[in-house]
Amino acid sequence: MLLRPGAKRQRRMFKKILIANRGEIALRVICACKELGIKTVAVYSDADRNSLHVRFADEAVCIGPPRSAESYLNIPAVISAAEITGVDAIHPGYGLLSENANFAEVCETSHIKFIGPPPDVIRLMGEKEKARMAMKQANVPILPGSEGVIANADEAREWAKEIGYPVIVKASAGGGGRGMRVIRKEEELENFFNSAQQEAAAAFGNGNLYMEKFIERPRHIEFQVLGDNYGKVISLGERECSIQRRHQKLLEESPSTQVSEELRQQIGKKLSECLSQIGYVNAGTVEFLMDEDRSLHFIEMNTRIQVEHPVTELVTGIDLVKAQILLAAGGKMVEIIPRLDRKGQRGHAIECRINAEHPEKFTPSAGKIKTFHTPGGLGIRVDTAAYAEGVIPPYYDSLIAKLISHGKDRSEAIMRMRRALEMFIVEGIHTTIPLHRRILADPDFQAGNFDTKYMERFLARLQEERRQEVPVGA
């Protein structure tokens, strides 16, 4: 946000905010607004008529039928709802429209403040290859890789020789595993390159690929940042998110057992400088892969609040969603998060994502919840929009609750999480609570011995156990 020289800096708190999202994050934003004395508008599809975010908002507008494309992703419907309710700002949550630069632009032209970074910054970080180059220029370590987009398989072969096998090709326009291929030998390259390109074009409308060195057993480490409108960007430490299944995070924690204070400070400083130069504003998360030498390599940046933000909130004591709102309203970082509050990390926090899925087959389990009892007590936080007699619709993602524990150290956080998982009762649908209980009981997890392949090995072991349970001669 550039101000003309001499222009007065107008700083007004928002009177009313529309939350362009659903489920637990919509409720989370409503909580922050209530605490700030800001009125809220919920939008909902037909399927979410009885949702908690609709119930707790001051106003609610039905914007479409159940399908996301016709409701939550329907930009004209969301903007129209914002216009008829006269809101000052829109909070996009995570997923849905939160990283849609077009949406951010439409908000701007409609004179509604988009709570997030400016459209051109969203765009920059949305093009993965461009983001890599921007970070590289700022001396943020990136994985050895191609420069620019790779035109064809021949070019790919040249790059792979330079980088050294194994390599991975990735789609510049998107993620989630699509348009990605690991290439371990030159013989495989042509086929994999071409199929990755086709997949990327189909998934994202853009078949551009880039290449990176592939790390066999990486850890996923991400840094939380916040930026104000005046060039100040701060880092709030890291989260470790290596426990993943098919590129979907299951469990996150902070701090990472592998990140030293020195590394944390070093990366934090680099990110502050780099993102300030880029003009980054509001909340964001910078994702890294850590290799076996404990070196961090930038892979991508998410220009929004993330699902696992409570983990950082609990170890820093900072309300990130409130910070987003205050920053968007023109607040200065030094006023929102005074230096005194940046004491660094306190204690340890773990989050389990509770999904409405079978805990071993992972098949989605939509339906009516019969019983819903959440755990409580010291050091336990539950972020959820589910409730007894509530219906989980089949149209959206399966996250129904986030269970977060905090303790003075990792050991206490684990103990509290195990206790809380045991006392979290959900009946009527399947949930991944039993899976989390097993993970937390696993000696490797407890020792901090894991990487992004952990879940593969864990589930393979589980399957083996199940097979051995079948009685002989049955």
Per CB under 8 A, residues contacting another protein are 46, 61-65, 71, 76-77, 79-81, 83-85, 110
Closer CB to another protein, residue 74 or residue 355?
74
The answer to whether 304 is a known catalytic residue is yes
Distance CA 37, CA 13 (A): 10
Nearer residue to another protein within complex by CB, 72 or 288: 72
CA distance 151 to 23: 41
**Among 132, 181, 239, 304, the one annotated catalytic:** 304
The Cα–Cα gap between 138 and 144 comes to 15
Nearer to another protein, 104 or 171 (CB): 104
Smallest distance from the beta carbon of 58 to another protein, in angstroms? 15
Query: Phi-psi bin for 448: left (phi > 0), alpha (psi -120 to 50), beta?
Result: left
Instruction: Supply the DSSP string of 354-389, one letter for each residue.
Output: EESB-TTT--B--EE--EEE---STTEEEEE---TT
Tell me whether residue 107 or residue 241 sits nearer to another protein (CB atom): 107
Which residue lies nearer to another protein by CB, 72 or 454?
72
Query: Among residues 396 and 450, whose Cβ is nearest to another protein?
Result: 396
Q: How far is the CB of 367 from another protein (least distance, A)?
A: 21
Q: Which of 97, 82, 103 is nearest to 39 (CA)?
A: 82
Closest Cα partner for 182 from 204, 207, 211? 211
Distant-in-sequence, close-in-space partners of 423: CB < 8 Å, separation ≥ 6: 373, 375
CA distance 277 to 265: 18
What distance in Å separates the CA atoms of residue 51 and residue 48, rounded to the nearest whole number? 5
Q: Which two tokens stand for residue 131?
A: 């983001």
CB of 387 to another protein, least distance (A): 18
**Residue type, position 263, single letter:** L
**CB burial of residue 469 (10 Å; 0-12, 13-18, 19+):** exposed
Active site positions, annotated: 304
